Structure 1
Amino acid sequence: MITFNFDKEYTTTPYARNEEHDKEKNGKDFEENYLSKWINEKREVLIKVDNLELPFSDSFVDASFCKLIRQDKELFNKYIKIDDKTEDEKDLLNTIKEVLARQ
């Protein structure tokens, strides 16, 4: 099982955001290049929110997953699954829906 690990993938891998780039591009590099490459390479990602111990928040969802969904919803649905069994998982799904509604 592969889980998107915020601390590892987002800060220390070749797919990590670049702070200097972020200042100029507001995270666009990460959303369009690194996250989508990570998803393509992993092929299937299961995110289990109830045991992540990661900073899932509106800003994280807005800065990565929702931008990816907006760009290619089929790719997102094909490679990322978020369970909806626990309250935390339901909260994340609700957050994604709310952020997408802001378009």
Structure 2
Amino acid sequence: MKLLVCIIDNVYADEVELKLKKQGYRMTELASSGGFWRKGNTTFLFGVEEKDIKELQDALKVVCLDLERKKQRSSKQEHRYTSFLLDVKDAAPFLAIGK
């Protein structure tokens, strides 16, 4: 099991949540802002099996590009989101910070 931490521009956040939930992905959403991109972001935590990682990454990309097409605008940024992939066993101390 892997943990995909995805920090995404707020422009895409609602669409990512809606579309990926419809596709059956389970996620935890955290509002975030500050120094990472210096604007409003949403951080999604996805628990995913290793065999499904590429499918999830492709789905994230498709949702962002579809939203841009729908709104008839292109991103001025090179990247629409940044993600980090962790083994769940390595993420356990990170997830237990508040305990």
**TM-score (norm. length: structure 1):** 0.27
The structure that is strand-richer by fraction is 2
* Larger gyration radius, structure 1 or structure 2: 2
